[in-house]
Amino acid sequence: MYCELPFYHFYIDGNWTKPCCDNTEIYKSTLDFNNKNLVNFRRKMLTGVKPESCSECFLKEESGVKSYREYNKQINPNPVYDHDNGVMKTKPFTFDIRLDNVCNMKCVMCGPHQSSKWLDDLDIYEEYVDPKVSYKQVKIDRLQNLDLFIDMMRDNAKLLSLLGGEPFQMKSVSTILQSLSDWNRKNTKILITTNANVKNNNPLFNILKEYDDVNFMVSIDGFNKVNDYIRYPSTWNEFLLGLDLLKKHAKIIKFNLTVSALNFPDLDNVQQLADDMNIELILNYLHEPDFLSVNSLKPELITNNEFTKTYKFNSRNNMKMKRYLSALDERRNLDSQKILKWCWI
């Protein structure tokens, strides 16, 4: 399965880089598009090797779900680039940038690397997910090379995807967009992934007005109370109000949902909402933490679809999921047994 993304796309998390967001290989962060890891990965593609780190796309395509590879092939059907055996002669022109973790939510399946809000519950995260995480690690400044990022994108980026954290809470997002050129304002497609918990007076809206092609990927993980629980401390009414506000500033809006044990039985409700709003719903698998994957649900809850073809019940993770939800319930004054009943069967 040949993929052209590594030849023109640059994924940069402040702490690391990798071929794309769905790839499982992680390299030490560097702004060199021809660092040895990326060059070696491209050479695998050129020789017809199917990298194990591309399993997310393999699984989706085998299940009939549009993969990240296919999605990018659709929006960039004939990308123009040049290389010498994987060493790029041309610069990347699509970017996936995640420069800090400032966020106003602490989603159940998330953690401190993606959300500063998770520092409130860091002890729970350490106990159930990663005992090696430290306050110093999650507070690390990931903006040291911001000027270099901007230079790479100025007068060049065709797509700039901004994630976090929550971009509407991140000063780095405003800094990047204000620093790009008039060419970027006319020619760069801006894609912001947001939790939709936004207010009309957010200064980022004024900056986005300068760009011709603004799009939002709205994270949703359930309908009504299910979404409120998973995307704590979101409230459904605020989510809908924020969604209406985003519509006024966007060319296109899509929903993004991560399928897990927390929301698998609720997928039809979210799909109905998306259909009613005429918004495309994009589904992704949750792999980590593994005790929140669909494999933690009891067999009687599983229906045959593209997300259960590799289902295998894990009783140990089922029990760990319940302990984890109980810890969050106590800390956040919630009731998962009432809202996420399927997790407790």
Dump pLDDT digits (tens) for 201-218.
999 999 999 999 999 999
pLDDT at residue 143 in the model: 57
Percent of the chain with pLDDT over 70: 97
Report if pTM > 0.95. Answer: no
Percent of the chain with pLDDT over 90: 74
Q: What angle do CA 93, 29, 53 make, to 5 degrees?
A: 80
Q: How confident is the model at residue 334 (pLDDT cuts 50, 70, 90)?
A: very high
pLDDT, mean over the chain: 92
Average pLDDT over residues 221-248: 98
pLDDT at residue 246 in the model: 98
Task: For residue 266, give every residue at least 6 positions away whose Cβ sits within 8 Å of its Cβ, in sequence order, or none.
Answer: 222, 223, 226
pLDDT at residue 252 in the model: 96
Which helix (H) or strand (E) is 252 found in, with range?
strand 252-259
Identify the residue whose tokens are 């897990």. 260
pLDDT at residue 134 in the model: 65
Residues in the chain: 345
pLDDT at residue 139 in the model: 52
> Residue 160 in contact with residue 213, Cβ under 8 Å?
no
pLDDT at residue 2 in the model: 87
CATH architecture of 93-344: Alpha-Beta Barrel (3.20)
Structure tokens belonging to residue 40: 């070696």
- pLDDT of 15 > 80? The answer is no
pLDDT at residue 61 in the model: 85
pLDDT at residue 38 in the model: 94
Q: What is the DSSP letter of 71?
A: H
Which of 110-114, 230-234, 319-323 has the lowest average pLDDT?
A: 110-114
Q: Is 182 exposed, middle or buried (0-12, 13-18, 19+ CB in 10 A)?
A: exposed
Q: How confident is the model at residue 305 (pLDDT cuts 50, 70, 90)?
A: confident
Distance, in Å, from the CA atom of 154 to the CA atom of 137, rounded to the nearest integer, reads: 30
Q: Where in the chain is the domain with CATH 3.20.20?
A: 93-344
Please write the tens of the pLDDT for every residue from 19-50: 999 998 888 877 889 999 999 999 999 999 88
pLDDT at residue 99 in the model: 83
pLDDT at residue 9 in the model: 96
